[in-house]
Amino acid sequence: MIFSNRYIIIFMVIVFIFSACGINPVTRTRELNFISEDREISLGRNASYEISKQYGVYNNTDLEHYVNEVGQRLVNVSDRTSISYEFHIVDIPILNAFALPGGYIYITRGLLAELDNEAQLASVLGHEIGHVCARHSASQLSEQLAFSALTLASLAAPGAREMAPVTAALTQSITLGYSREKEFEADAMGLTYMYRAGYDPMQASIFLSQLSRMSQGAAGYSVYTSTHPDIFDRISATRNEAKQMVGFNIGMGKIRGQEGKGEAEVTKQEIMNQQGNIFEDEYKSHLDGLLYGPPEAPRRLRIYTVKEGDTMESIAEDFVGNKQQAKEIAELNKLEIDSPLRVGQKLKIII
């Protein structure tokens, strides 16, 4: 029997797909992934160029250096340190963060403005590093393009023109977000990395709780599509995993102190008392001057240091010139309008 070229191609694609199934070395789960690490990095580089061209990178060298510093701290304790990671700030006001293949990680200036401390920044970056470590974008793109002979051929082609359909598919894949399983997996990995780096892992669930009260659903944290976990499920999961992580660490410390003899009971109070680093004032200091809101009506974040006798209303009147903005200041800092203020405390204020 003589086979047509069409059937030969289909047969080759099927053989290629089955040969590409394997065990992910980080997650230990079976997955389809026919994208090599070199190709993954190349895809990420191409997509990074497109993202920068389409949205623009926020021009603040000091802030980007700070974000990169936090990110690299997490990378150093991650499960995939064999590749280089880059951290960039996207010049858009929406709340989002996303990871491209090969270690290209982006966070928007809109999300940076809403985070309250360095530990929350670490929770966001750790989540995205988790996606990179688990090669989620590569495996999701492999599934999406599995039966496309054109794109399989493109993956083997060295030219940028041939890679265009793959880059387009990758961008669409990232925009749609990941599956429930992959989002939960990235949450768990991000928690581990931030805890290893010395941050308070409870800040992950606190951030997600704050996000649930915001009106925008970002692709990386979407709660509006059926392919993502409900955000309240994520809050519950990250809170429980953080407690278990801290509790296990306390328990192991007790066992080592007892030279392995006897049991090590861990109380709820002990878990609550053993917080990691948060670095609230340090984080807010880096936000001074950050562009806030849409570019057609730009405002700036200013960081105010609380003085003796300050109240929300007095700060609004003296610093902004409008007593009525006390409520906006309180909400931006996740406080009540009559919350007691600490001398030296840093507050975000929109000017």
Q: Is the pLDDT of residue 286 over 50?
A: yes
The residue extents of the domains of the chain are 5-218+226-245, 298-350
**What amino acid is encoded at 328 in this protein?**
E
Q: Which token pair is 167?
A: 């880059």
Residue predicted with more confidence, 264 or 245 = 245
Token look-up 């230990």 returns 28
For residue 15, pLDDT over 50 is answered with: no
The SS3 of residue 127 is: helix
The mean pLDDT of the chain is: 80
What is the arithmetic mean of pLDDT over 75-95? Answer: 95
The pLDDT score that the predictor gives to residue 65 is 98
- Confidence at residue 123, expressed as pLDDT on a 0 to 100 scale: 97
**Most confident option among 40-54, 154-168, 308-322:** 308-322
Q: State the pLDDT confidence band at 76, using cuts at 50, 70 and 90.
A: very high
Task: Name the amino acid, one letter, at 69.
Answer: E
In which band, very low, low, confident or very high, does the pLDDT at 13 lie, cut at 50, 70 and 90?
Answer: very low
Q: Which of 29-33, 187-191, 296-300 has the highest mean pLDDT?
A: 187-191
pLDDT of residue 224: 34
Higher-pLDDT residue of 147 and 76 is: 76
pLDDT of residue 325: 92
Report strand pairing: 104-108 vs 86-90.
parallel
Q: Which class in CATH covers the domain with range 298-350?
A: alpha beta
- Residue 323 DSSP one-character state: G
Residue 310 φ/ψ, nearest 5 degrees: -70, 145
Q: What was the pLDDT predicted at 165?
A: 54
Query: 215 or 244, which is more confident?
Result: 244
